[in-house]
Amino acid sequence: MACFPPGSNTSTISTNSLNTEASDGHEKIPPSQSDTTPSIVTLLTQRTLPFLLFRMRRVLFLCGLITALAMSPFAALAFTVFDSDGTPNARIFLKPEEDPLVEEAASELASFLQRMNGKVAQIQKTASAKSVPSGSGVIALGKLADELGLAMNRHSAARDGFRYKVDHARLLLVGETPQGVLHGAYDLLERLGCGWFAPGTIGEVVPSIRKATLPDSLDYTGLSDSVNRRFWYGGKGNPDKSTQQWITRNKAEFNQGSWNHSWHGLVSSKEHFAAHPEYFSLNRGKRTTKQLCTTNPETVRIASESLLLRMQSENQRVFAAGPNDGGNLCECPTCAKLDSPGYFEPTSGQPSCADRIFGFAGTLASITSKQFPEKDLGILVYSEYSRPPVKLSNLHPNVFPMIAPIRRCRFHGPNNPACESSRLLGSEIAAWGALSKKIGFYAYNYNLADALVPLSKISYYKRLADSLRQTNPVELAWIFESIDSWSAHAPHFYLCTKLAWSSTIDVDAEMERYFTGFYAESAVPMRRYWQRLDSAYDKTPVHVGSQYGLHQIWTPDLLAKSRADIAEARTLAKSDRVKQTIALADAGLRNAELFMEIWNHIGACEFAKAAQSQNALKAHIDSISAKTDPNWIHERYAWGYYTRFVGLTVDAGAAALADGGQLIAQIPETWRTLKDPERVGTSQKWWTPEMDDSRWEPMQTFNQSWADYGLAHYHGDLWYRSTFTLPTTLPEGDLRLWFGGFDYDIEVFLNGNRLGGWLGFAKPAEFADIRKHLKPGANQITIRVSSGDLGELGTGGLMMPSMIYRWNGKSVLPTGKKGVEYIQ
């Protein structure tokens, strides 16, 4: 028997801040019951108590208690859903002409109730409410329940809420819409102990119980506080069938519109550019079709007409009206005047331009809302318009901003004290929340560029939920951008479905339900595994959105303890389902172990060993990429990002040191550095060996990233200086200076001689035939570098080890698109 806390508090939702009181039946339970020994009834309805008990690790105790109390006299006070030993099986009544979603609700209820006690649950169609009997096991749905007197007493903006009530020994279930009835059915099943923790049979938990009861005072209304819940998975975009079913069963699916980049669709360049280039953006003195000139009154007219046409023909709530992707906003004087001098987006140093974007949206909304007061314009809060406007004092009520924090830290949720970027995000959420009662959040559910080693964002979402709650939103909207790699991300994927339904959930309680439900008999070590990992991501001061910071999270200590947890979980696992959940997590941990092996070899310039571990990583990814339902790993993302950011360096290093190639000296990991924001270093000859660098800052290059030194937003030059020691006699042949990877523009001086420069991101580069610049003993090297504009990553400067080596006469570096570009 699977034993985990029944029900959840995910449904104790309010659509606005006024409705904070749940209409859950447990508040109506007489004190005589709940103040004395808890009965099965109170345990099934008091959604908080079981979590507290479980937090005290009283799993076995509680399971015993439920079994014992199920046979106690208190059970008689309850409405019986089914009783294997007694008469009633569930009988589900609905009208013959019901909506297909209500029919689905009936069939899902029947199917899961039957699986719980093994007896057939009947579905009966009847046109007349009068023919629905009273008595144990009777459940009436939809229109029939409505005719029997149950109505929605509160409403949600999404209109997919539900209410169920035990009424004269019948259970009635109604919804705001047929979708609401289906949501109510799943909520009821969760209350009775079912859970859908991951797609497929691995994540489905249906308890085997003899008797299921509900309190006869039960009257519960579940309303979502979000009007959009969209789940985007991997390269496929839409979730596969089994993932879709999992989302539906967690009440999470609800698409109401779009926040996409959309200006190109509002004013068609095909139609208008030739005759009216002035409708479009001025970029570097020329009109282009990159963006719109939003201060041109004709642009406003045409864009609003496009929106009105769509609103007439498309049945949705939110219509995208934000800029095209890729920057390049209009530079004409009228548009540029809307930005505030000195107000910048810190990650790019470009002017912050939310005032013009949201001002334009407000103008459009003031036109469209006259005809369509219920329809909103969806605009992303993104890239150069992440920071809140300073001139607008509020947004038009029909403008719906959605925060898409691609430029903010992925590891640390809003207001995490360990992270400056997350504090900025926290302040932005508060500011946007003050400007608008409608707030969306576009969540990036993965660490932008990595081989999909396990990442936990539970603390991130807990901080986010806190932060959103403080803005008192009236309506929320969610889009989750995920890579369907369940070996790496499973717990926070589940949390996202619950958060999408309600931002007011108790995250800890919901995760407790997950750990005890999904991992069952292996819950104790698996909870420990994920919580330790989650805490490492939450507390480690590493902010780089890629693979470069992972070694700070995945320390040898974390790897060892994680491995021990998985081993313990495996010894506890009894059922095939639970064994599969452990194998899934194990596959993710193996990714991390292999990745860290590679990383440590790179750090020591042991590229042959790194290549061996890389082969093992590839074999591992191949072996698990065939496993689906849910997808264990997204092969294209995992291997693609790995090779693009790390694999090129390993391949090049291994080729360089094979077949007679010889490592002569590794340049030390720690350099001395100085910022040069005014770019005076070249004329002041900072590259000469004699330059006094004793006061320059020590900086690591492979072990730390620019973001870790607070340089994520730095756009000037940075100079690096170091010395390395060579033996008295150097080997014969072509000696080369090799760089494993950098970001983005480097210029190199060896013992005062300028070797040239390279442009590239995370790609190896080298200078050949440098013997003439080298000398035995100490050699001085200086590098000037400026970072590229990949603000999302937080990288910069030297990112990989550098070395002097003897060329084997045949290794070549990647060229073309895969390689770096030489500058004189």
Q: Is 293 in the site for Zn ion (CB under 5 A)?
A: yes
Other C-beta atoms within 10 Å of 137: how many? 24
Cβ at position 794, least distance to Zn ion in Å? 9
Binders in 646-705 for Zn ion, by CB under 5 A: none
Is residue 476 close enough to count as binding Zn ion by CB under 5 A? no
The least CB distance from residue 21 to Zn ion, in Å, is 37
d(CA 230, CA 247): 10
Fill in the DSSP letter of residue 774: -
CA separation for the pair 164, 492 (Å, rounded): 29
- Write the DSSP assignment of 290-335 as a string of letters: EEE-TTSHHHHHHHHHHHHHHHHH---SEEE-BPPSS-----SHHH
528 or 539, CB closer to Zn ion?
539
Instruction: Tell the smallest beta-carbon distance from residue 678 to Zn ion (Å).
Output: 29
Least distance between Zn ion and beta carbon 419 (Å): 3
CB closer to Zn ion, 266 vs 476: 266
- Is 9 in contact with 23 (CB distance < 8 Å)? no
Select from 520, 453, 649, 421 the least CA-distant residue to 208: 520
Contact stretch for Zn ion (CB under 5 A) within 87-95, 380-388, 405-413, 779-787: 405-413
Residues 6+ apart with CB under 8 A from 314: none
* Residue 287 beta carbon to Zn ion: minimum distance, rounded to whole angstroms: 9
Task: State in angstroms the smallest separation of the CB of 792 from Zn ion.
Answer: 13
Is residue 636 classed as helix, strand or coil in its secondary structure? helix
Strand partners, 721: 672, 782
Helices 458-469 and 523-539, packing angle to 10 deg: 70
**Residue in 365, 379, 419, 592 binding Zn ion, rule: CB under 5 A:** 419
Whole-number Å distance between alpha carbons of 290 and 261: 12
Smaller CB separation from Zn ion, 425 or 505: 425
Q: Which stretch binds Zn ion (CB under 5 A): 33-41, 412-420, 644-652, 767-775?
A: 412-420
Nearer to Zn ion, 95 or 543 (CB): 543
Residue with Cβ nearer Zn ion (518 or 714): 714
Residue that is written with structure tokens 């070549």 in the block: 812
CB of 338: closest distance to Zn ion in angstroms? Answer: 9
The answer to whether residues 719 and 686 touch, using CB atoms and an 8 Å cutoff, is yes
| Nearest to 602, CA basis, from 617, 612, 592, 616 | 612
For residue 186, cis peptide bond before it (omega within 30 degrees of 0): no
Which is closer to Zn ion, CB of 94 or CB of 419?
419
Contact region with Zn ion (CB under 5 A), list: 133-141, 188-196, 265-273, 416-424: 416-424
Report the residue count for the chain. Answer: 824
**Piece in contact with Zn ion (CB under 5 A), picked from 293-301, 380-388, 498-506, 803-811:** 293-301
> What minimum distance in Å lies between the beta carbon of 408 and Zn ion?
8
- Burial string for 212-245 (b: 16+ CB within 10 Å, else e) reads bbbbbbbbbbbbbbbbbbbbbbbeeeebbebbeb
DSSP, collapsed to helix, strand or coil, labels residue 136 as: coil
Residue 412 as a binder of Zn ion (CB under 5 A): the answer is yes
**How far apart are the C-alpha atoms of 561 and 544, rounded to whole Å?**
24
**330 touching Zn ion, by CB under 5 A:** yes
Specify which residues 783 forms β-bridges with.
Answer: 720, 748
| Shortest Å, Cβ 546 to Zn ion | 13
Q: Please say whether the beta carbons of 276 and 256 come within 8 A.
A: no
- Contact stretch for Zn ion (CB under 5 A) within 21-29, 326-334, 382-390, 640-648: 326-334
409 part of the interface to Zn ion, by CB under 5 A:
yes
Please report, as residue ranges, which positions from 511 to 550 form the binding site for Zn ion (by CB under 5 A): 543
For Zn ion, which stretch binds (CB under 5 A), given 11-19, 107-115, 396-404, 409-417? Answer: 409-417
Q: Which is nearer to Zn ion, 82 or 460 (CB)?
A: 460
Options 324-332, 478-486, 586-594, 655-663: segment touching Zn ion (CB under 5 A): 324-332
- Write the binding mask 730 to 749 for Zn ion: x where contact by CB under 5 A, - elsewhere: --------------------
What residue ranges in 395-491 does DSSP mark as E strands?
399-403, 438-444, 475-482
Residue 539 or 627 with smaller CB distance to Zn ion = 539
Q: How many residues bind Zn ion (CB under 5 A)?
A: 8
Q: Which stretch binds Zn ion (CB under 5 A): 287-295, 382-390, 551-559, 568-576?
A: 287-295
- Of 280 and 518, nearer to Zn ion (C-beta) is 280
Residue with Cβ nearer Zn ion (183 or 412): 412
- 143-202: which residues touch Zn ion (CB under 5 A)? none
Stretch that binds Zn ion, among 66-74, 113-121, 329-337, 458-466 (CB under 5 A): 329-337
Question: Residue 419 or residue 458: which is nearer to Zn ion going by CB?
Answer: 419
Q: Which of 40, 148, 335, 479 touches Zn ion (CB under 5 A)? A: 335
Distance separating alpha carbons of residues 80 and 61, to the nearest angstrom = 24
Region of 74-82, 186-194, 419-427, 435-443 interacting with Zn ion (CB under 5 A): 419-427
Question: Per-residue contact track with Zn ion, 568 to 607, x per CB under 5 A?
Answer: ----------------------------------------
Quote the distance between the C-alpha of residue 185 and its chain's center.
28
Burial-class residue 29 by CB neighbours within 10 Å (0-12, 13-18, 19+): buried
In sequence order, what DSSP letters do the residues of 590-634 get, joined into one string?
Answer: HHHHHHHHHHHHHHTT-HHHHHHHHHHHHHHHHHHHT-TTTTS--
To Zn ion, the closest distance from the beta carbon of 51 in angstroms equals 29
Nearer to Zn ion, 261 or 539 (CB): 539
The residues of the shown chain that bind Zn ion, judged by CB under 5 A, are 293, 330, 332, 335, 409, 412, 419, 543
